[in-house]
Amino acid sequence: MKRNLEEAFNEVCGEKISSTMCLFLDWNPTATSTSVGLSDGSVSITTLAESKIEKIQGWKAHDFEIWITCFDIHQPQLVYTRSDDCKFSCWDMRDNPSGMVFQNSKVHKMGVCCNAKSPTDPNTILTGSYDEYLRVWDLRSISRPVNETSVCLGGGVWRIKHHPFVSDSRAE
């Protein structure tokens, strides 16, 4: 059994979906697909079919590296991307190639390197940036954040994790 799993793992790891470097990967919470953020600013949506990775969609999402790509935990047809180009974007996979739902390029002063979707509120998402700001967004009005705070970590907000019992979040 262990040998079969190891062989399958090695087979999948050998698949090539792009000639550029993968910088981030996220599993779709309701399917067997992944979103892959690439160093050339592209996103690939892949699926695992019979021990083989298939690219089912791909598009140029940003001008620079994509630091994070993730599925919406409440609406898994949506994919969020963040990049060194200071843009925070949302894409709808029901369109092929994926159609842009929104893009905000006016608020982050430096590259956007992390985000966290609220596990309890489908309209709230947080972003972190090299500019050392943690921002709280309402997805119904994306023109500006509902709240932003400088966290002065000495290098940017690279990770955000929601506390399992407290409704606010913690930045690292």
Given pLDDT bands bounded at 50, 70 and 90, which one contains residue 107?
A: very high
pLDDT at res. 161: 85
In a domain, 14, yes or no: no
* For range 73-97, the mean pLDDT: 91
- CATH number for the domain spanning 65: value is 2.130.10.10
Q: Give the residue numbers spanning the domain of 26.
A: 22-152
In a domain, 99, yes or no: yes
Q: Which of 30-39, 119-128, 134-143, 150-159 has the lowest mean pLDDT?
A: 150-159
In a domain, 3, yes or no: no
Query: How many structural domains does the chain have?
Result: 1
Q: φ, ψ for residue 157 (rounded to 5)?
A: -95, 105
Structure tokens at 95: 């369109």
pLDDT at res. 53: 84
In a domain, 47, yes or no: yes
